[in-house]
């Protein structure tokens, strides 16, 4: 019985840092009490200040996690659909028994070459957020304040977070087969 209480107390301590962040989800009446987190990773391999003015989505994953791998195609789809000038989607590969070769496998398997991936070799970044499971996503608004944190997302929820953060979709290229009245081909003379 004492062992169960000790284990429960330890689990609470592990979850506390992330739970405190996640519970600070902004509301209309509580907008000023959101924690400012843009500088939260100062001095680490993840400098979020370079994304000032953008929404930020951090996705903590590891290659052996089946739930993480289930999310990857959806994350890639959101990356392809939303404006990179408005959102930075950053994959944080936590080296929980893994290495850079595992990162390469994930990048190749899911076509993530154009995405930003940060290697968390010593689990420093995971420790800063009190990571307690995979996959974990943290959403930061365009002003640098924590929006929310979530575990294991499907595409619909990812899109909902992009909308809540006010991220616009990419402007798609005009189909080259479509010609408007002002875009007539140049006439040639024989």
Q: Tell me, letter by letter, the H, E, C secondary structure of the chain.
A: CHHHHHHHHHHHHHHHHHHHHHCCCCCCCCHHHCCECCCCCCCCCCCHHHHCCCEEEEEEECCCCHHHHHHHHHHHHHHHHECCCCEEEEEEEECCCCCHHHHHHHHHHHCCCCCEEEEECCCHHHHHCCCCCCCEEEEECCCCEEEEEEECCCHHHHHHHHHHCCCCECCCCCCCCCCCCCCCCCCCCC
What percentage of residues in the chain have a pLDDT greater than 70?
74
Going from N- to C-terminal start, the domains of the chain cover: 33-164
pLDDT higher than 70, residue 3: no
Tens of pLDDT, residues 95-144: 989 988 998 999 999 999 999 999 999 999 999 888 889 999 999 999 99
Q: CA 86, CA 108: separation in Å to the nearest integer?
A: 25
Q: Kindly report which listed range (50-59, 81-90, 167-176) carries the lowest average pLDDT score.
A: 167-176
Q: Does the pLDDT of residue 79 top 80, yes or no? A: yes
Residue 178 reports pLDDT greater than 60 = no
For residues 66-73, average pLDDT: 95
For 33-164, the fitting CATH number among 3.40.30.10, 3.30.200.20, 3.40.980.10, 3.90.180.10 is: 3.40.30.10
pTM greater than 0.95 (yes/no): no
Span 7-65, pLDDT tens digits: 233 333 333 444 444 333 333 334 557 788 888 888 888 989 999 999 999 999 999 99
pLDDT-derived band at 169, boundaries 50, 70, 90 = very high
Is residue 169 classed exposed, middle or buried when 0-12, 13-18 and 19+ CB atoms within 10 A define those classes? middle
Measured from the Cβ of residue 33, the count of other Cβ atoms closer than 10 Å reads 10
Q: Do 90 and 100 meet the contact criterion of CB atoms below 8 Å apart?
A: no
d(CA 58, CA 137): 5
Whether the per-residue pLDDT at 187 is higher than 50: the answer is: no
């Amino acid at each position: 019985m004492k062992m169960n209480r000790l284990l429960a107390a330890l689990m609470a301590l592990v979850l506390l840092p992330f739970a405190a962040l996640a519970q600070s989800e902004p509301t209309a009446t509580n907008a000023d009490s959101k924690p400012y987190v843009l500088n939260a990773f100062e001095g680490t391999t993840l400098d979020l200040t370079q994304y000032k003015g953008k929404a930020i989505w951090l996705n903590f994953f590891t290659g052996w996690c089946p739930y993480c791998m289930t999310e990857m195609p959806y994350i890639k789809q959101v990356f392809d659909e939303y404006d990179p000038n408005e959102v930075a989607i950053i994959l944080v590969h936590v080296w929980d028994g893994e290495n850079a070769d595992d990162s390469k496998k994930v990048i190749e398997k899911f076509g993530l070459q154009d995405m930003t991936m940060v290697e968390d070799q010593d689990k420093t970044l995971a420790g800063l957020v009190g990571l307690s499971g995979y996959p974990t996503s943290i959403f930061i608004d365009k002003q640098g304040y924590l929006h929310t944190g979530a575990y294991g997302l499907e595409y619909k929820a990812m899109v909902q977070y992009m909308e809540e953060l006010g991220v616009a979709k990419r402007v798609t290229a005009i189909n080259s087969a479509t010609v408007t009245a002002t875009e007539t081909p140049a006439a040639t003379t024989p």
